[in-house]
Amino acid sequence: MPTRARSSQLRKGRFSESGRIYMITTATENRCPVFQDWRLGRLVIFEFKRAENRGLATSLAWVVMPDHFHWLLELHQGSLGSLIKQVKASSAVAINQASGKKGRLWQTGFHDIALRREENLQKLARYIVANPLRAGLVNRIGDYPLWDAVWV
């Protein structure tokens, strides 16, 4: 399957660095719009917060779109791959249980961009949380229930 083959290419050369800021993007299996039901999207957000409470990462900004999420975070401990695997696995179990579905929720792999602190993180956070506006899901970001940023 081409998606899985490409996802393994995403892991090549990946290096996790504690204290580094990353922008993560990952999508649902077959881009299924699972999070049109915002209650299911809240279960992903719960996993972001759980990772933060465990000291693994600090969330700087995130948005859960109908079929994917973007997460701007600072990694504190462990590997980035391990963190994303935990978030995806735990959210999949919770979402499948809440929706009564079975099977894969997430595509294999994820896309990450390592950022420097001197980059304009607030500008990137605004770009992330404005995704629902650009997608035409809402007219005002305040009308979309699945986003947050530390600068707000």
Examine residue 82 and state whether it is found in any structural domain, yes or no.
yes
- Measured distance CA(33)–CA(2) in Å, rounded: 20
Closest CA to 124 of 150, 146, 143: 150
CATH assignment of the domain containing 63: 3.30.70.1290
pLDDT in tens, the chain (152 residues): 344 444 444 445 567 888 999 999 999 999 999 999 999 999 999 999 999 999 999 999 999 999 999 999 999 999 999 999 999 999 999 999 999 999 999 999 999 999 987 778 999 999 999 999 999 999 999 999 999 999 87
Examine residue 95 and state whether it is found in any structural domain, yes or no.
yes
Q: Range of 58's domain?
A: 2-136
The total number of structural domains that make up the chain: 1
Examine residue 110 and state whether it is found in any structural domain, yes or no.
yes
The structure's pTM equals: 0.89
Q: What is the pLDDT of residue 14?
A: 60
